[in-house]
Structure 1
Amino acid sequence: MPDPFRVAFVTGATPDKWARAWRERRREPLELLPVLETEQEHGVRDGAVDMALVRLPVDRDGLHCIPLYAEVPVVVASAEHFVAAADEVALADLAEEQLVRPHSSGWRPDVEQLDWPPMSEKDAIETVAAGTGVVIVPMSVARLHQRKDVVQRPVSDLDPTQIALVWLLDRDGEDTQAFVGVVRGRSANSSR
């Protein structure tokens, strides 16, 4: 049996549709490995994984990078919080709030009040569910940890985050290009 093709992915990235297409087309097993955003490049650079679905920005030196899709930043707060009454909020609306910081996120909104020690995204959302503080995360992360006692609202004046596929410049073999083809929606019979 061939060695598995290994693809890391950050929290909130959704590799399932590509994994299904890979498994329909290829003999090599596909191994999907979750990684923290703060460690998203390491596996690619040290050869532990073949490719990674990362949240930009990353250091692109020595990497191929294909931006895939944008993610809307949202504020997550307790269902009783004032943001529950809004369709969207601006950063100025959150100026007096305690900002809970997930440790796995390298992405930081430009908010000066950082009152909480770093914690996991799940723990951050549990903390805000208790009515203490707010957390700003990509919508995909908020959906992953959705609870009935929290709300999420888009933050209108924050730029979207971007999910991208990265791999080493010198790791550009047939299997790598096959995965790129899957991600780009090429059919099994199309060529590069």
Structure 2
Amino acid sequence: MTGSEVPPSFRLAYVPGVTPTKWVRIWNERLPDVPLTLVAVSAAEASDVLRAGGADAGFVRLPIDRTDLSAIPLYTETTVVVIPKDHVMAAVAEVTAEELADDIVLHPLDDTLEWENRPGRPAFERPATTEDAVELVAAGVGLLVVPQSLARLYHRKDLTYRPVPDAPESRVALSWPEDETTDRVEDFIGIVRGRTVNSTRGRAPAPAPAQPKRKRPDKGGAQRKPAAGKSTGKGARSGSGGAQGGKRGKPRRRP
């Protein structure tokens, strides 16, 4: 490798709540010579990081500004409300948005849910981050509605959560700059979509090695004539024009 060559690598961004461990493991198994570097980004800055070349691809939360970016939706998360363990709602299996009307519901600045009408009563101030909002829930300031993965990420022993089936849902997607759909990006797309290691979808298959041509046996062709003085392999009695060997008759009696 010359001094001007850059060793191959792949940078993968991911937003809070997304766990890329499985896909990274498969990448390391299939492409051990191409190191994968994880880049942690906030949901708000993910698209800008991709556009600026800070990562080759990334897991983002939709919606994002799709200008110059491609995205493949992967899955949709359950939305939950984070509550203290001694809250009255901890006794039920799920909570509707209407049932949050009398509670203060925190609205962090990095909220990833798109609400038409936010449930509950607003707090005096918006927490800077979801992590800060979880701390406020533990302090008894209010409740928090978030994707389930964020409730798990910032889990505390004194808190629990319940599904909110009629709340907006968060969708996670794999995104990358559409003008930079490199072979490495195609490799990672294949891993995320569950393609096998031998799949060539999205990649040009390698040309098959040339096979030597085999001589075809003569079919129905004329048989070669035997060389002079050589037998054709037929017996002396075969053939129509050949001399027939005479049969030896019985000896005649003399008079």
Q: Tell me which stretches of 4 or more aligned residues in structure 1 moved more than 3 Å.
A: none
Please report the TM-score for the alignment, with normalisation by the length of structure 1: 0.93
Aligned residue for 2:51? Answer: 45
Aligned residue for 1:124? Answer: 133
Aligned residue for 1:190? Answer: 199
Letter in 2 for 1:138: P
Q: Find 2:19's aligned residue among 2, 14, 20.
A: 14
Cα distance change, pair 178–91 in 1 and its aligned pair in 2 (3 A): same
Tell me how far 1:123 sits from its aligned partner.
2.1
Larger radius of gyration: 2
Are 1:98 and 2:104 counterparts? Answer: yes
Aligned residue for 2:86? Answer: 80
Structure 2: which 5+ runs fail to align? 1-5, 202-255
Query: 8 Å contact 2:80–2:145 — kept in the other structure?
Result: yes
Identity %: 42
Aligned residue for 1:167? Answer: 176
Tell me how far 1:159 sits from its aligned partner.
3.0
Structure 1: which 5+ runs fail to align? none
Structure having the higher helix fraction is 1
1 CA distance for matches of 2:110 and 2:11? 21
Letter in 2 for 1:85: A
SS in 2 for 1:187: coil
The count of aligned residue pairs is 192
Question: Which sits farther off after the overlay, 144-153 or 103-112?
Answer: 103-112
Q: Find 1:24's aligned residue among 26, 29, 35.
A: 29
1 CA distance for matches of 2:130 and 2:78? 16
Bigger relative contact order, structure 1 or 2, given CA contacts below 8 A and separation 6+? 1
SS in 2 for 1:124: helix
Structure having the higher strand fraction is 1
Cα distance change, pair 161–191 in 1 and its aligned pair in 2 (3 A): same
